[in-house]
A = this chain, B = another copy of it.
């Protein structure tokens, strides 16, 4: 399914080199002021070509509202937003067809969909689909203006000095991975449930839906595995639940405890590396050397923080509506 959410529910559609990509958002309360300009700052952050190491492919990413808005406000019915694809170069991909690109979904998509997949630019698998998600995330953020969500790249190619990490990629003529950290403040106490609707379950579900994410950890995360209990436990200091440390990352028993929500993601290196590779040629049945053409990011982590913020906002809005912390009419 290409939908996510229980009450605040998104459905994505479209292909990288098709006519458009888009999203339908169902369950947004009525009466929220919303104009296309509200979405532009986040859409701008997602765009390539704005910073060193990102793809020179630039789309206008102008959100076209197709439904659900009336007189500048949400109606309570599905909000559909389209983004036209204009700046496509499908010929880059046609040339590449005989060798399924390593790290990409070419081979599995072909197996799964029996050759019916739209392979141009990755088709539906393309990170271009995250445009709609970023738009929906901006709406979710607007719904929860008392909550602040901030994600940023904290490490590139193993370097905390990001400039240095990127230079590594440029020097090696290769792509690199990175770490993104997200922090959320203003979350009410008591959001989430133990087990299947834990905040960690909901968030990790959609964080792993972001292409290239291969790891997610909350609070101390993997470092917790090396700690003693007495060291990891966050002592409560106040009747409001403020803890001395925050190794739990703001979630205990799957439920928000009122402290800062903190988590990190591992983003793998861009699969489309400029470096020469060796892999299977479908037509010959043998491996061969080849190079990926097209316009790509050296480090996909660079454009991902706004996507991480968006999916975080979507999950939290869903929990907030379900648990009656957001009203059905704004």
CB < 8 Å neighbour of A209 from B27, B216, B254 = B254
Cα–Cα distance between A189 and B108 once the two chains are bound (Å): 7
For this complex, 7 residue pairs linking A to B, each with C-beta atoms less than 8 Å apart, are: A2-B193, A24-B24, A174-B229, A200-B213, A214-B218, A215-B218, A215-B222
- Near B by CB (< 8 A), chain A positions 48-69 give 65-68
B11 touches A226 (CB 8 A): no
Cα–Cα distance between A56 and B72 once the two chains are bound (Å): 31
On chain B, the residues within 8 Å of A102 by CB distance are 233-236, 243
Copies in the complex: 4
- The size class of the interface chain A forms with chain B is 35 or more
CB < 8 Å neighbour of A30 from B30, B114, B236, B323 = B114
Given contacts A103-B252, A105-B254, 16 further A-B contacts (CB under 8 A): A1-B193, A14-B67, A75-B113, A75-B123, A104-B253, A105-B194, A107-B257, A112-B190, A172-B228, A175-B228, A179-B222, A194-B209, A200-B214, A227-B268, A229-B270, A230-B277
On chain B, the residues within 8 Å of A236 by CB distance are 100, 102, 107, 279-280, 287
Cα–Cα distance between A322 and B214 once the two chains are bound (Å): 24
CB < 8 Å neighbour of A169 from B9, B12, B228 = B228
With A267-B225, A271-B229, A324-B327: A256-B70 Cβ-Cβ less than 8 Å: no
Q: Does A76 make an interface contact (CB < 8 A)?
A: yes
Interface 1/0 per residue, A238-276 and B, CB below 8 Å: 110101000111001111110000000011111111011
Cα–Cα distance between A216 and B205 once the two chains are bound (Å): 11
